[in-house]
Amino acid sequence: MTLDRLKLGIAASAFGDDFRSAAQRARTLGFDGLQFDAYSPSLNLPDLSGSGRREFLRLLSAQDRQLIGLRYDVGPRGFGPGADVDQALDRLARVMELAAALGCPLVCVEAGPLPAQRRTSEPKPTITSDQLGLLVLSKSPASDISPQEIPAPPIDPAVYSSTDSALAELGARADRYSVVVAFRSEMSSFAAIERALKSANCPWFGLDLDPADVLRDEWPMDEIFSRFGPLIRHVRGRDAAVGGDRRTKPMPIGSGNTDWGALLANLASADYHGWLTIDPIALNDRIAAAELGRKRLLEIVK
């Protein structure tokens, strides 16, 4: 992958709550664009007036930085039962309207828990003492009963219904504003995201690819790219170290277990031309981690 195919940005929240200085600091560090949280402790961007929006864009233009897009976290209950789905949809509609008005029609959404693909589980055949040959089994009543995989409890159909209905409505609003919505979910698998995208069947929907999520998933990187390649709308620049049970610990880019050479090669094969936004929020020294990540990525693409 060459530099003209890799656009490096940074999450504005890496600079804290002072959004006014974010563009200048991004320029100092060599990042071409910024991605902003739609709602933050210091500023709710959708609440900006017309003059406030113009001032926001002026701050970016003055530093010759681009606005990558906005991002929004639906919350720990996602779009499922028990969540305030109407509120989430209304807030997302406001975010999409703002993204369109600002000329950056990309909204990255942390979707919360998504229902997994329905699976059927077939019981394993019973293993008898004859099949075990010389191994002597106890002749207790349970002697000819083999342990079987206990299938995961079925997902309540209401979860599918609530999530799918919400995504269908969100898709209609994305079409209204002509805004791309890229999803990710730390609480769900890539299989669950794929199911949600197929169910919604919305041309404005895609994937917000997070390498840290790739490390946690059952699917290997090649499988993820084979299924999502053309649907990748944004890449989040994060890395992690993988421990037992696929648990991960945030690390600076290049210090974790992500194979960045393979990931960037896959992005090139998928003809990805979008942004890679470094997100050091989970790390202690955010600025140092962002600088290190940018340096290592540029070394790979040279």
pLDDT reported for residue 159: 77
pLDDT reported for residue 147: 42
Amino acid at 22: A
CA distance 131 to 143: 12
32-36, 52-56, 69-73, 243-247: least confidently modelled range: 243-247
Provide the mean pLDDT of the chain: 88
Q: Pick from 211, 260, 257: which is nearest to 236 by CA?
A: 211
Strands 275-278 and 232-237 come out as parallel
Amino acid at 190: F
**Which tokens go with 45?**
């961007």
Q: How many CB atoms lie within 10 A of CB 261?
A: 11
Residue partners of 163: CB distance under 8 A and separation at least 6: 78, 79, 80, 114, 115, 196
* 3-class SS of residue 237: strand
Task: Quote the DSSP letter at residue 280.
Answer: -
pLDDT reported for residue 17: 85
Q: What's the farthest any 2 CA atoms get from each other in the chain? A: 84
Dump pLDDT digits (tens) for 156-179.
677 788 999 999 999 999 999 999
CA distance 99 to 204: 14
In the predicted model, is pLDDT for residue 2 greater than 50? no
Q: How many helices (H) and strands (E) does the chain have?
A: 9, 10
What is the total residue count of the chain?
302
In the predicted model, is pLDDT for residue 41 greater than 90? no
Dump pLDDT digits (tens) for 73-110.
999 999 998 899 999 999 999 999 999 999 999 999 99
234-247: string of b/e by CB count within 10 Å (b at 16+)? bbbbbbbebeeeee
In the predicted model, is pLDDT for residue 194 greater than 90? yes
Site of tokens 């053309």: 230
Give the sign of the dihedral formed by CA 253, CA 259, CA 10, CA 173. Answer: negative
Site of tokens 């039962």: 81
239 versus 137: the higher-pLDDT residue is: 239
pLDDT reported for residue 44: 94
CA distance 48 to 116: 37
CB 45 within 8 A of CB 79: no
Site of tokens 């919604």: 200
Conformational region of residue 94, where left means phi above 0, alpha means psi within -120 to 50, and beta covers everything else:
alpha
pTM: predicted TM-score of the whole model, two decimal places = 0.86
pLDDT reported for residue 134: 45
* 3-class SS of residue 211: helix
